Amino acid sequence: MFERYFEQRRQALKALGEAVVQPHPGLAGGARELLVSEFLSAHLPPLLGIGSGQVFGHLWSKGQEDDVSRQQDVVIHRHDTPVLRIGKDPLYFAESVVATVEVRTEYRSNELEDLLDLASSVKKVSLVDTHTFQMGPDGPEHRTFPRRILCGIFFFRSPTQRLPLVERLNGILMEIAQGRRGVNTSEIRAPDFVYSLDSGLIVRSGQFDVLTPPPTGIDNVYKGLRPIELQDGAYRRVFNDGQKGWRGLNTIALEIAERCQRYAVTYANVVPYV
């Protein structure tokens, strides 16, 4: 029943995406962003709100202009932190943001490099220490750490094959690493997942705790991984268990919901903002 439910939701989301008839690409893209937001809103705890806008850190509040993300299509944030509503697109405290998602109608290889930079720009924002009374299988535990923001990319159409996208993703990571002396691919801030309604969850990082990652941090289910997939910090294809696209949808929704539960009792030290 669980599998059938999310498979039906995947098919419905794909059908609604195809039903968008706006001739203007920007308006059509905005309509599909709304579809993703509505899907997530229906499957996430009430504690979380969904909007769009930019994410800023405490250094931005002190005048450091680059301590802010680029515009994010979908911002999933906690309701218990203020939002700066300046004009049409709000600004979100980094400590309140649980996840961000960039939505695209279809995969285009020549746009991927900029899309990676756009999606991962939230990872470059400075965060203050967050004090958390964290629940888990080993009992409650108090922790102090910077909150990690999950970020990903969502395609309505294509790619239908995973390997070409994974190779392109890793090629971009290697190019970035080569352009920065002394940096390897594992040190590059990059999106945590890529999902397609046609292929399901294509890649995901070790940030996906709900999938209980193996020691490598990402799935290694293909016996013959390509050399580019074996690089330190490289993306690898995700095993979809033969279930097409439903597994990705339920995994994304449950990962975000699990983070909300895990950090249910939390507060950020906002002194750096003052």
What pLDDT, on a 0 to 100 scale, did the predictor assign at position 66?
92
Average pLDDT score over residue span 178-182 = 78
What pLDDT, on a 0 to 100 scale, did the predictor assign at position 215?
43
Token look-up 């102090």 returns 144
Asked if pLDDT for residue 243 goes beyond 90, the answer is no
Indicate whether this model's pTM tops 0.75.
yes
**Segment 4-45, tens digit of pLDDT:** 899 899 999 999 988 876 655 666 778 889 999 999 999 998
Report domain extents, the chain.
2-273
Asked if pLDDT for residue 165 goes beyond 70, the answer is yes
Distance CA 239, CA 223 (A): 12
Distance CA 160, CA 168 (A): 14
Asked if pLDDT for residue 240 goes beyond 80, the answer is no
Report CA 270 to chain centroid distance, whole Å.
24
Asked if pLDDT for residue 169 goes beyond 60, the answer is yes
What does pLDDT average to over the chain?
82
Write out the H or E segment, with its range, that includes residue 235.
none
Average pLDDT score over residue span 160-172 = 88
Asked if pLDDT for residue 211 goes beyond 90, the answer is no
What pLDDT, on a 0 to 100 scale, did the predictor assign at position 119?
93
Phi, psi angle pair for 85, to nearest 5°: -95, 90
Side-chain-facing half-sphere of 77: CA atoms under 13 Å:
26
Side-chain-facing half-sphere of 110: CA atoms under 13 Å:
0
Distance CA 72, CA 228 (A): 29
Using only C-alpha atoms, the chain has a radius of gyration, in whole angstroms, of: 18
Asked if pLDDT for residue 217 goes beyond 50, the answer is no
Strand-strand pairing, 48-56 and 91-93? parallel
Order of all β-strands in the sheet with 141-146: 141-146, 129-134, 265-268
**DSSP assignments along 171-221, one per residue:** HHHHHHHHHSTT--GGGS---SEEEETTTEEEEE-TT-GGG---TTSS---
Q: Of 55, 123, 130, 117, nearest to 89 (Cα)? A: 55
**Segment 43-65, tens digit of pLDDT:** 998 889 999 999 999 999 888 99
